[in-house]
Amino acid sequence: MTEPQFSIRGLIIAGTDTGVGKTVVACGLAAAAAYAGVSVGVIKPVESGCMEKAGRLIPADASILLEAAQSGQTLNDVCPYPLKAPLAPSVAAKLEGVSIDPNDIVKIVNEALFEFEFTLVEPAGGLLSPLADKLDSLELARLVGLPILLVAPNKLGVINHVRLCEKSIRSSGVLLWGIVLNQPSATPDESALTNREEIERFVKAPFVIELPYVSMTPEMSWPSRELMSPLIERLR
């Protein structure tokens, strides 16, 4: 199988908020890219709310990203800063006496960019949620020179949240690569019928793609290759 040449080295998978489906999208992209023959690195720099097993904190999102990418990385490579408290990473780190070094995170991402053909970075929380002092998803994207794929929940209120995020991204000089409207529920609200059209009217983005609801279960851990194909085609 001929390896496709993606037009960019990687993406920051950022969200308008926490719990909007960043991991769903990142896993789907990683799995689809790997299936296409591209070596994919994944990074979840900080993850809070980790469960403790045998004296070790296990980052659930990082674990499933690693499974999707089949990258050969270790869990520590993917998530160097697992935290126990289900709080914003900067708050959880302070409570647990963990010092998160922004320069270390930048170094880890740059190493993955060097090692892999394509790297997906999924920071915790929303676009401007602090990962550490002076570091959030937007600043990380600026420091490592990667564009942002913005994930937003396809529900009432999303138009405002996407517009606010788009303004922040534009003002920073970071490229907004595209927007994914992810369906967060098996029963969409009425706004889901019109959100995409309204966002396309008011937001300057190369594309807006809708994803249907995907339940993260052992039987279907991430979106199918068919669902992710519009994004994969835009990477070529």
Question: What domains are defined for the chain?
Answer: 10-235 (3.40.50.300)
pLDDT band at 122 (very low <50, low <70, confident <90, very high): very high
Q: For residue 223, what pLDDT is reported?
A: 85
Binned at pLDDT 50, 70 and 90, residue 217 comes out as low
Give the 3-state secondary structure of the chain. Answer: CCCCCCCCCEEEEEECCCCCCHHHHHHHHHHHHHHCCCCEEEECCEECCCEEECCEEECHHHHHHHHHHCCCCCHHHHCCEECCCCCCHHHHHHHHCCCCCHHHHHHHHHHHHHHCCEEEECCCCCCCCCCECCECHHHHHHHHCCCEEEEEECCCCHHHHHHHHHHHHHHHCCCEEEEEEECCCCCCCHHHHCHHHHHHHHCCCCCEEEECCCCCCCCCCCCCHHHHHHHHHHHC
Q: Which residue has the higher pLDDT, 1 or 154?
A: 154
pLDDT band of residue 222 (cuts 50, 70, 90) is: confident
For residue 206, give Cα distances in angstroms to 42, 128, 175, 193.
24, 22, 10, 20
More confident residue, 190 or 214: 190
The confidence score (pLDDT) of residue 66 equals 96
Share of the chain above pLDDT 70, in %: 96
Query: Average pLDDT, stretch 26-37?
Result: 95
9 burial (CB, 10 Å; 0-12 / 13-18 / 19+) is: middle
Mean pLDDT across the chain:
94
Higher-pLDDT residue of 209 and 217 is 209
Average pLDDT over residues 98-125: 97
> Residue 218 above 60 pLDDT?
no
71-102 pLDDT, tens digit per residue, is 999 999 999 999 999 999 999 999 999 999 99
Q: What is the mean pLDDT of residues 206-214?
A: 94
Mean pLDDT of the 28-46 span: 96
Distance, in Å, from the CA atom of 50 to the CA atom of 85, rounded to the nearest integer, reads 7
**CA diameter of the chain:** 51
User: Across residues 136-159, what is the average pLDDT?
Assistant: 98
Q: Catalytic amino acids? A: 44
pLDDT at 142: 98
